[in-house]
Amino acid sequence: AGGPGSAMAAAAWPELEAAGRERRRELSLAGAAVAERVAAGGGRLPAALLALPLLQSLELSGCAALRELGPGLAAALPALHTLVLRCNALGPAGLGAGLGGPLPALRLLDLSGNGLEALPAALGGAGPAEEEEEEAAAAPAFPQLRSLNLSGNRLRELGPGLARAAPQLQALLLSGNRLRALPGGLLPPAGGGAALPGGPFPLLSRLEAADNEVEELGADIAALPALKSLDVGNNQLRELPAALADCPRLKEANFRGNQLKDKRLEKMVNGCQVKAILEYLRAGGRGKGKAESAREEARKKKREKQQKKDGRDGEQDELEEASKLLVKVLHISENPVPLVVKATPGVKDVRPFIVCCVLKGVNLKPGNALKRFLTAQTKLHEDICEKRTAATIATHDLQLIKGPLLYDVQPPDELKITPLGRKEIKAKDLLRQLQLEAEEQRKQKKRQNVSGLHKYLQLLDGKDNYPCLVDAEGVVISFPPITNSEKTKIRKQTRDLFLEVTSDTSLQICKDVMDMQILKIAELNRLTLENNEDSGSDNESDALCGPVNLNPSQNVQPMNLPLVVEQVRVVDTDGNLKVLYPSKTDLTTVSSLLTVIR
């Protein structure tokens, strides 16, 4: 089986050969030719795929011949952040063999449209009791998983394994299945097996289960403390549980398309805001009996008594709420001159994902505020950006930018930039210069590790073109993942920022990083205001700063004045929308620390 046959098999997958040769981190396989080759290979993924350990994003969709992943996928691709397997013909057995092991970096898993009737226990399948016990004892298989899409399958029930396998899950999409109950078996039974720290799904904010056969929405839905968006439209619900009113963060809900017994509630569902529906459910709905009314009255009196007793606690809560970090989103329709970024087709093969926004109202002038800002950005690059391998942040002074912007690629010997703290230089020469500096660093310090920009040189290995963000005057203001331009450098007097996050991994990682960046800036802004520092100079002092204000109090914003985030659109060359940030589903991951006014 080893000789010419295996050579032919390898030759049949030029995409995989190219990915290995170019050390690619992203791979997308689609189309009729791919389907034919998968069918010829017995309906499983090619073995050569398992020899690409650098892969961080893999998509293979629309392949009706794909029935199994083949064993060893998880072990062979430990760096996977994104795995998209939409509209194939995967069965539970073939799926389980491929995912039969931890994927420690996986953040997004899309298995929609596969016709799955069952799942492995680790993905919420209703497996045998002994299998569930084994899962409970094991370490989480998907410790970083944020989004799981199981829409468009044939699932009838779910098991508790997913809560243990994916403790960080934020979005669970189950629309278009055959589920009868929700949450159903998804939540582990109280007291059963090993307790989950923080309870099951402590971060789950989005749950979609429209177009199923759900007859019962259980009261245990209130056990999801972060639930913010719930869609159970077009099911077979006859009533809604009062426990929905106990979901503290529920802001968006769709109950339309259900034949509810309470006709008043049905009218509200079709026309009222979620808040009104929850208030109605909290009050017990229409037609409750006298006994229920008496119990509600007793509970009300007890609450009032407790409130009087804990008056000071209540005041403290109000104080905490008032001091919560505030961010206001300015919708693009309300912005007379919105900034637009146009992405060219060339970026797809180099660094395809970009998310941008404008942030107004920062205060970097007092004391060490600018130094803290730059330090925080460096830390984000080390942590959530995984040393810039997952994503790269660039921050610019908005006043120094001329829009619209172009996200493009240029050959290394044509791309010119004035890097931070350096003179204008071609990208090719900059990388050579950084390489020489890195070698010199190694010699001087007699060690392998290097610091500064030198750490990121390998991220552009094998690229024929380099990504860049260009302003309306043709000036390159950013060269990710290496540096941005001295032209748009943040200074002490900067008040309004243009933020960009780019990635060769996934759009969701860009959004997650941007969420964290905005949260961090809001925290730093609050710290600056609370410290009431003088507007003196520090190590990041700037000759362009104006005279020092002798009355520092004039520089201090009111404590509750929110930062303003302006939406920015990224479009293709024909003007079609690629991404808008922040959309209504963005900034939800940091909602426990940040109040977003939309």
Supply φ then ψ for residue 173, to 5 degrees: -110, 115
Least confident range of 2-6, 40-44, 564-568: 2-6
What pLDDT does residue 311 have? Answer: 54
pLDDT in tens, 436-476: 887 887 777 655 554 555 556 677 777 899 999 999 999 99
Range 408-435 average pLDDT: 92
pLDDT in tens, 531-548: 766 555 444 433 333 333
Distance CA 133, CA 138 (A): 9
What pLDDT does residue 274 have? Answer: 86
What pLDDT does residue 233 have? Answer: 94
Give me the DSSP letters along 219-251. Answer: GGGGG-TT--EEE--SS--S---GGGGG-TT--
What pLDDT does residue 47 have? Answer: 85
Exposure string over 444-461, b if 16+ CB within 10 A, otherwise e:
eeeeeebeebbbbbebbe
Higher pLDDT, 440 or 412: 412
What pLDDT does residue 442 have? Answer: 74
The conformation of residue 177, written as its DSSP 8-state character, comes to S
Whole-angstrom CA distances from 426 to 411, 475, 542 are: 10, 13, 26
Segment of 133-137, 198-202, 456-460 carrying the highest mean pLDDT: 198-202
Give the model's confidence band at 228: pLDDT under 50 very low, under 70 low, under 90 confident, else very high: very high
CB 277 within 8 A of CB 251: no
> Over 80: is that where the pLDDT of 301 sits?
no
Give the model's confidence band at 128: pLDDT under 50 very low, under 70 low, under 90 confident, else very high: low
Q: Whole-angstrom distance between the N-terminal and C-terminal Cα of the chain?
A: 62
What pLDDT does residue 91 have? Answer: 74
pTM equals 0.51
Q: Where are the beta strands (DSSP E) in 411-509?
A: 416-417, 425-426, 466-470, 476-479, 483-484, 496-503
> Over 50: is that where the pLDDT of 340 sits?
yes
Q: What value does the mean pLDDT of the chain take?
A: 81
What pLDDT does residue 130 have? Answer: 45
Residue 142: both structure tokens together: 């998907």
Give the 3-state secondary structure of 345-401.
Answer: HHHHHCCCEEEEEEEECCCCCCCCHHHHHHHHHHHHHHCCCCCCCCCEEEEEEHHHC
Closest CA to 468 of 555, 426, 514, 410: 410
Segment of 74-78, 324-328, 339-343 carrying the highest mean pLDDT: 339-343
Give me the DSSP letters along 539-588. Answer: TT--TT--PPPS-GGGGPPPTTPPEEEEEEEEE-TT--EEEEES-TTTT-
Range 189-202 average pLDDT: 66
What pLDDT does residue 450 have? Answer: 45
> Over 50: is that where the pLDDT of 173 sits?
yes
Higher pLDDT, 97 or 282: 282
Percent of the chain with pLDDT over 70: 79
What pLDDT does residue 539 have? Answer: 44
Rg of the chain (C-alpha set): 27
> Over 50: is that where the pLDDT of 549 sits?
no
> Over 90: is that where the pLDDT of 286 sits?
no
Range 417-444 average pLDDT: 87
pLDDT in tens, 312-329: 544 544 444 444 578 899
What pLDDT does residue 73 have? Answer: 84
User: What domains are defined for the chain?
Assistant: 14-188+196-291 (3.80.10.10), 325-421+465-597 (3.50.40.10)
Range 278-300 average pLDDT: 60
pLDDT in tens, 253-271: 999 999 999 988 988 888 7
What pLDDT does residue 485 have? Answer: 94
Distance CA 501, CA 516 (A): 11
Range 282-294 average pLDDT: 54
